[in-house]
Amino acid sequence: MTDDSSSLTADARPKLVLASGSPRRLALLQQAGLEPDALLPADLDETPLKSEAPRELVRRLSRAKLDAALATTRHGGDLANAYFVAADTVVAVGRRILPKAEVADEAADCMRLLSGRTHRVYTAVCIAGPKERRRERLVETRVRFKRLSAKEIDGYVASGEWRGKAGGYAIQGLAGSFVVKLVGSYSAVVGLPLYETIALLDGEGYPVRAAWRDAA
C-alpha cells in the first residue's frame, strides 16, 4: 500500500481510539509508535455462552467492544471520524476456557491446570475506520509451561500479579519464567497482536508511518 500521509500535519491526522482500558494494550500500541487519542473501555459480561468455543468467544467479545466504542461516538463530536481498535484475549486448554482470575483459588487452579502442558491463547482484534467498515483477525498462539512445583504456584499466587488476567497470568511478568516454548505471537499473548493490528489499520487507510515520523 502506498503511504501518502507525509503531507498530513499532526492536527490533520485522523483520531485513533483504543476500545480498552488495558494498560498492556495501550503500552503495545505505544510500542508500535501509535498514541491513542481516547480510551473507551466497554463494561461487558464476558461469561462464555453455553458450548461456546474459545475462538467464538474471543471474536464475539472483540466485536462487542468495538460496537460499544462506536456507539458512544455516532452522534458527532471529536471522535466521529476516528479509527477504532478493539481486542480480546482468551486462554484455553482444549475447549476449556480459563477465567480472568479474580480470587486466589482461581489463580491457583489455573496454574495447576497449565503446569507442564501446552495451552492456547486466542486474541481477536477488530478495527473500524471512519465509514465503520470492519476488519478483524484472530491470532492463535501455543504456549507451554514448565511443570510447576507447589512452592512455585504458591509463590506466584502470593504475588497477586494474576489478578484480572486471562488464564491467571501475564506473560510479560513473573509468569514469563514459566514459559518453556511459545509458537505464535508474543504480543498477542500480552493482549494485542502488533503485526496484525498495524496491518489492519494500514489496510483501512490509517497513516501509521506518519505517526512514526512524528515520534522521530
Which pLDDT value is given to residue 216? 56
Please classify residue 85 by burial: count the beta carbons closer than 10 Å to its beta carbon, then call 0-12 exposed, 13-18 middle and 19+ buried: buried
Query: Which one of the listed residues 3, 11, 37, 88 is annotated catalytic?
Result: 88
Which pLDDT value is given to residue 9? 53
Q: Is 88 considered catalytic here?
A: yes
The model's confidence at residue 82, banded by pLDDT at 50, 70 and 90, is very high
The model's confidence at residue 6, banded by pLDDT at 50, 70 and 90, is very low
Q: What is the CATH number of domain 5-215?
A: 3.90.950.10
Indicate whether 13 pLDDT > 90. no
Please state the rounded mean pLDDT for residues 159-179.
95
Which pLDDT value is given to residue 8? 55
Segment 188-206, tens digit of pLDDT: 999 999 999 999 999 999 9
Average pLDDT in the chain: 91
Share of the chain above pLDDT 70, in %: 92
User: The dihedral of CA 167, 170, 171, 173: what is its sign?
Assistant: negative
CA atoms of 18 and 16, how far apart (whole Å):
7
Segment 114-164, tens digit of pLDDT: 999 999 999 999 999 988 789 999 999 999 999 999 999 999 999 999 999
CB 151: neighbour CB atoms within 10 A? Answer: 8
